[in-house]
Each structure stands twice: as structure tokens, then as C-alpha cells.
Amino acid sequence: MKVPETVFVNRATVFVVEDDYNLVHGIRDILELHNYQVLTAMNGIEGLQVLRTCETLPDIIVSDIMMPGMNGYEFLEEVRKDMRWAAIPFIFLTARGEKADVRAGKSMGVDDYMVKPFNAEDLLIVIDARLKRRKELDKIHSTEIGTVKQNILTILNHEFRTPLTYLVAYADMLNQDTQALSFDELNIFLHAINVGAERMRRLIENFILLVELETGEGKKNFDQRKKLLDDPKALVNALNSIAEKAQGLAEVKHITLRIEPLSEPLPEVIADIEYLKIALYRLVDNSIKFTTLPNTVIKLSVYTSDSGELCFSVLDQGRGIPANELQAIFEMFYQVDRSTFEDQGAGAGLSIVKKIAQLHKGHVSVQSEVGQGSCFTLRLPPSDH
């Protein structure tokens, strides 16, 4: 191999897995000359042992395909199974240039190919490019994680602190001298404690549900509980139970919940009725929260769309949503103009609705006009049984 004049300044670690003794040492010499740290193994079995025992994981893996004991394909498969190693860029070295080999590797998640014999500078360029891309992705991931952390800190600082203040402050006052308190004062204190406890309960439930939906547990629950819903009465009963559950919140704000009568046959759908109730309740709760005018109506309806979908809609007369924020409201922890309105809640409700809709292979949408109100619609595809 001819050593190129191009100098790459790196301290990244490259793991070379190759059964050709002369080639593996030649690659190591070139990489070390260009300031890379190098780990080596002679086949996939040795490669896994190195990954399990090395103090610091490699930044990139360069592996031959045809090796004794465990070939490159098998080695790649084992690497991708382990979450510690799954994100490490993986390059195949192969004496074969057939498209079938390339397709086989890429279908398994390999990042690039180098066909032997190869030019040393080409190998360096490919390794450098893959490492740069890995850094870019890590930076994007870190930014996303930072945003989530900031949102969580904001919620912990405000949303959890407020109900905790209610609970601690009023409980402390009750502990001081209950004999000196009148019946009405006791009722006020107990009501305040109840308000704080209820708000805390709702926040915790939302967080637990989000974790469930984000980690795959939601998919397991859905697969276990889903069934064919072919009785319109069951859907009406679901709406009635949701309206009954939300009635107390609506009455406090002098809002009427109205379930529109069915006017047509409904399509059969495959659904998890428990998750469906959770999603619909979050939509109703959201409409109540953002409706500030008294003596208004929130309409709940179920109908068939022109394309045959089963649709649930919640129409309110709330403050509405600006057009530029209509898509963002379904993202986790997002609230419309939180700093202006200081709304209660973590901004998790609509994100939960979106994730439940996706489990059902459906979607949720909104039409809204500032000052006029909003209409949220949850759409489920008809069953193809």
C-alpha cells in the first residue's frame, strides 16, 4: 500500500477485524501513522471478545467479510444486537464486489464498503467521513436530549412545585392548631390540599403514560388488548363515560358537554378501547382547559369520514390556536405561549393522543381559529378483516 501524503489529525479508535495477518498489520501501521488508535482481531469471535473487554469502545469498526470461525456478516449481526455497540459505524472490507454482497451487508445495517485491493488514502477518507457523520449525529442527539432535559426541568420547577406548595403549605397549617380553625377554614384547607393532590396525580399519570408509550410497553399493551369494535353502542358508551368523567371540570367553568347523536352507520375498527378512552378524554380535557368563556358548549361526536375512517371529534369555543403553532402542539411538552397564559399541565396530553392514534395506525388533526375555538379529530382506519 502507498502511504498518502494527506495527513488526518485524529485520536479516534479504529477497530480492525481481518484474518489476513499482513493486511491487518499494514492497515494498523497506516492508521497509527495518521494518529488513529487501533484495536485488532483476526475474526468475529475475537472481535466480540475485544468489544466486551476493551476499556473504551472503538469509534468505528472495519471488518473483513470472509473470516474463519465467525464471518463478517455474523459479526455485524452480533454487534447490532448489543445496544452498547449498535451505533458504532461499521465498514466492510471485501474481496468481492458483487452487488449481492453489498445488498446483504446494507440490509443488515453496514455503513460502507471497501473492495480489496483498495488505496490507503481511500480507506482513510471513508473512515474520516464516517467519523465526521457520527459526530454530527451525536451533536444532533445531544441537542435533542438537551431540549428534553430543559423541558423536564421547566416542568419539574413549575408544574410539580406548585401542587407541592399547596400540599405542604396547607398541611402545615392544619398541623399547627386545628382547634383554632373554624369548620369553613378546615374545608378551605382540605379543598386546597385536594386540588394540589389531584394536579400532582394527573401530572404523574401523564408522565407514566408517556414513558409507557415511548418505551414499547404501549405497543405490547395494544397488541394484547386490541379487538374488533363493531358495535356503535360501545363507542357511544365510551363517549358517555368520558363526558361523565370530565363533567366536574366542565361544571366548574360553566361549560356544557354535549354528545351529538349518531346519524349514520359506523365502520368497524381494530382498537384498544382503554387507550381510545384515554386519548378521547385527553382531547376533552384539553378543550375544557383552553375554554375560558362561561356558558359555552363542547361538542363530542363520532361519525364516518368520506374516506371511510371512524372519526371522533371534539369541538370547543376556546381561545383557539395560532396557525403557526398547529403542528407543534402535538409534540411532547409543548404548550401554546406558555409564558403568556401560564397554563397548568406539562404539555403532554396531545402528545399522548398522537402516540395512541399512531398505535391504531390512525392520526389526529386540528382545525382552529384564534378567538373562535378548535376542533380536534381522531381518525381510525376501518378494519380490513
Query: For residue range 264-279, what is the model confidence (pLDDT) as tens digits?
Result: 788 999 999 999 999 9
Which residue, 322, 328, 279, 329, is CA-closest to 302? 279
pTM of the model: 0.57
In the structure grid, which three cell numbers stand for residue 162, read together? 406548585
DSSP 274-321: HHHHHHHHHHHHHHHHT--SSSEEEEEEEEE-TTS-EEEEEE--S---
At residue 200, the pLDDT reads 79
pLDDT tens track for 70-111? 998 999 989 988 888 988 999 998 876 566 666 777 777 788
All cell numbers assigned to 93:
472490507
Region of 19 on the Ramachandran plot (φ > 0 left; ψ -120 to 50 alpha; else beta): alpha
Give pLDDT < 70 ranges for the chain.
Answer: 1-10, 96-102, 142-162, 166, 177-178, 332-347, 385
Provide the residue count of the chain. Answer: 385
Per the prediction, the chain carries an average pLDDT of 82
What are the tens digits of pLDDT across the range 132-147? 888 888 777 766 656 6
